[in-house]
């Protein structure tokens, strides 16, 4: 009689959970990606008569342009005359409206440009892409750069350093009203987060502030703040 040998069932190797992405993430590269290289800014080529004079060295300061009442139409002029200006995105938003073709969505960006030394500009940009909206706001901020008169108007300090405003100023933009009062040295900036950043970019170090209205609306808040800075030239 032939005896049949019983064979053990084949053993399958233990399965390990797959770490490959599944579903809608399949095919995507995982792991640490190398950091993106910053975009190189294209060299400035002046297009206006004023820009060509600045590039040629005939005009060496932005104060000379403002004293002659000339209009700045190129952001490169401001970048060349004020190379220490730095930009910061202070607000972004979405604009939605209904059109005959359906719902339209656009992005809005608000950018501030300042050097913490009595120069500040704020610009707004809109586009269907966020990156383009920020670029437009960035150029508008450079074109809107204006001087800020600093001083010391605090009766507690009475020093000769330019660390605050020379006197109390008040500005209104939309539903927002802002007052800036001179503060003594060492006080700091008594203001909300975004308003404090704008005051710091303008060069203020010590000041009291009061704000009324819808201050989270940065469009109106920035207009009120720029009106305050324009009021610093109303006296003296």
Percentage of the chain beyond pLDDT 90 is: 67
Domain parsing of the chain, residue ranges:
47-81, 84-147, 169-231
* Mean pLDDT, all residues of the chain: 86
Say yes or no: domain 84-147 is CATH 3.30.160.20. yes
Mean pLDDT score, 210-233: 93
**Minimum mean pLDDT range among 12-16, 60-64, 201-205:** 12-16
Write out pLDDT tens, residues 13-53: 555 555 555 555 555 555 566 666 656 677 888 899 999 99
Burial class (CB in 10 A: 0-12, 13-18, 19+), 218: buried
Cα–Cα distance for residue pair 88/138, rounded to 1 Å: 9
* Both structure tokens of 36: 């993106």
Residue 67 main-chain phi, psi, to 5 deg = -70, -30
For the chain, the C-alpha Rg in angstroms (whole number) is 29
How high is the pLDDT of residue 31?
56
Say yes or no: domain 169-231 is CATH 3.30.230.10. yes
Write out pLDDT tens, residues 114-159: 999 999 999 999 999 999 999 999 999 999 999 999 999 888 888 8
Task: Examine the pLDDT at 2 and tell me if it is beyond 50.
Answer: no
Cα–Cα distance for residue pair 54/61, rounded to 1 Å: 9
* pTM higher than the cut 0.85: no
Q: Identify the three-state secondary structure at position 95.
A: strand
Number of residues written out for the chain? 236
Task: Examine the pLDDT at 7 and tell me if it is beyond 70.
Answer: no
Percentage of the chain beyond pLDDT 70 is: 82
């Amino acid at each position: 009689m032939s005896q049949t040998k019983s064979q053990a069932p084949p053993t399958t190797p233990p399965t390990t959970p797959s770490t490959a992405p599944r579903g809608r993430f399949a095919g995507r590269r995982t792991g640490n990606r190398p950091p993106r290289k910053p975009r190189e800014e294209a060299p400035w080529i002046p297009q206006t008569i004023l820009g060509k004079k600045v590039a040629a060295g005939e005009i060496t300061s932005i104060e000379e342009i403002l004293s002659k009442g000339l209009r700045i139409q190129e952001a490169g002029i401001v970048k060349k005359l004020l190379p220490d200006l730095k930009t910061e995105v202070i607000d972004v938003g979405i604009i939605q409206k209904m059109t005959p073709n359906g719902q339209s969505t656009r992005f809005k960006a608000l950018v501030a440009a300042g050097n913490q030394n009595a120069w500040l500009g704020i610009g707004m940009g809109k586009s269907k892409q966020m990156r383009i909206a920020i670029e437009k706001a960035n150029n508008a901020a450079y074109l809107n750069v204006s001087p800020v008169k600093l001083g010391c108007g605090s009766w507690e300090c009475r020093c000769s350093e330019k660390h605050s405003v020379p006197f109390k100023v008040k500005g209104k933009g939309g539903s927002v009203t802002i007052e800036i009062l001179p503060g003594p040295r060492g006080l700091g900036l008594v203001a909300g987060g975004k308003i404090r950043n704008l005051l710091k970019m303008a060069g203020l170090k010590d000041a009291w502030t009061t704000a009324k209205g819808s201050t989270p609306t940065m469009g109106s808040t920035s207009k009120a703040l720029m009106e305050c800075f324009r009021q610093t030239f109303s006296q003296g």
